[in-house]
Amino acid sequence: MGKLSITRKLYWEEPYSKEFYAKVVSVEDKVVVLDQTLFYPRGGGVACDIGTLNTSRVQETTRADDKILHTIESPASLKPGDKVKGLVDWERRHRLMKMHTAGHLLSSLFYTRANCRITGNQIDVDRSRMDFNLESFDRTQIEGYVAEANELIGKDAPVKTYFLNREEALKLPDMVKLAEAAPPAEAQLRIVEIEGVDRQADGGLHVSHLKEIGQIQLLKLENKGKTNRRLYYDIQSAVG
């Protein structure tokens, strides 16, 4: 048990926090493991947080089992036991949160209105994409779902997260919107719920109210063959 280290996921507990203090657990060249972190690791198609640890720039955050790995620009002068101050690039973090919640909102509409599931996704800062298995490539239909998503944003439902027993969670209807991926094999699943609209098992970070998203902008649609469609979207601040 001595070599097992589990990084406390402060990003789940305090997604709106921008800075934190932690203790260095291990250092290997440019990779630093802390006892706790606000940095969200890349995974599930969602881009990672970047920022700084003391004066070192964090270029990438990844996950290895229960450890969160912070890759910094140059070999660390840090050593196990050192205390560090971490700063998250908040503008990037908040934008990714908006993009991710927008993706959940869209996926819930595609699922409930057209009974289609998500086959792939990439949530990023500049633009995001969703792949889904829609029978017909109907641009008007898809544009209608985006418009409906923006109407729901205007109603500003709260977004909350909580944990459920895996068995209990998977009994709930419409919990999984992915075509081929199952939730992680963990006893407790983290649930993201847009009140009255959607709930999904998800480990990512989200805004606390839909209006924070602003407006979803449909950038491009692609017909990827058979029943596979691809949608690129962006978000913009709401006017007024």
Read off the pLDDT band of 170 (50, 70, 90).
Answer: confident
pLDDT for 239: 54
| pLDDT tens sequence across 6-23 | 899 999 999 999 999 999
Structural domains of the chain sorted by starting position, each given as residue range(s) with its CATH number in brackets:
8-88 (2.40.30.130), 93-236 (3.30.980.10)
User: What percentage of the chain exceeds 70 in pLDDT?
Assistant: 92
pLDDT for 171: 84
| pLDDT tens sequence across 116-143 | 888 889 999 999 999 998 888 889 999 9
Measured between its terminal Cα atoms, the distance across the chain in Å is 55
Mean pLDDT, all residues of the chain:
90
Strands 36-37 and 8-9: parallel
Q: Which two tokens stand for residue 119?
A: 């086959």
Per-residue buried b or exposed e for 172-187, using 16+ beta carbons within 10 Å of the residue's own CB: eeebbbbeeeebeeee
pLDDT for 99: 97
Query: Residue 219, CB half-sphere, CA atoms under 13 Å: how many?
Result: 12
DSSP notation for 71-103? EESS-----TT-EEEEEE-HHHHHHHHHHHHHH
Residues 6+ apart with CB under 8 A from 139: 221
pLDDT for 42: 94
pLDDT (mean) for 91-107: 96
Asked whether the predicted pLDDT for residue 2 surpasses 50, the reply is no
pLDDT for 74: 81
Asked whether the predicted pLDDT for residue 147 surpasses 80, the reply is yes
pLDDT for 226: 81
User: What percentage of the chain exceeds 90 in pLDDT?
Assistant: 70
Backbone angles phi, psi at 179, to 5 degrees: -75, -40
pLDDT (mean) for 195-216: 95
pLDDT for 10: 97
Q: Give the type of residue at 165.
A: N
Q: Count Cβ atoms below 10 Å from residue 98 Cβ, excluding itself.
A: 22
Q: Count Cβ atoms below 10 Å from residue 210 Cβ, excluding itself.
A: 25
CB-CB contact of 112 with 173 (8 Å): no
Q: Give the type of residue at 72.
A: I
Asked whether the predicted pLDDT for residue 164 surpasses 70, the reply is yes
Q: What is the sign, positive or negative, of the torsion defined by CA atoms of 182, 184, 186, 192?
A: negative
Give the global pTM.
0.92
pLDDT (mean) for 179-184: 62
CB-CB contact of 97 with 27 (8 Å): no
pLDDT for 207: 98
Helices (H) then strands (E): counts for the chain:
4, 15
Distances (CA, A) of 174 to 120, 198, 207, 221: 17, 8, 21, 25
Q: Which two tokens stand for residue 14?
A: 């305090």
Asked whether the predicted pLDDT for residue 92 surpasses 70, the reply is yes
pLDDT (mean) for 52-80: 91
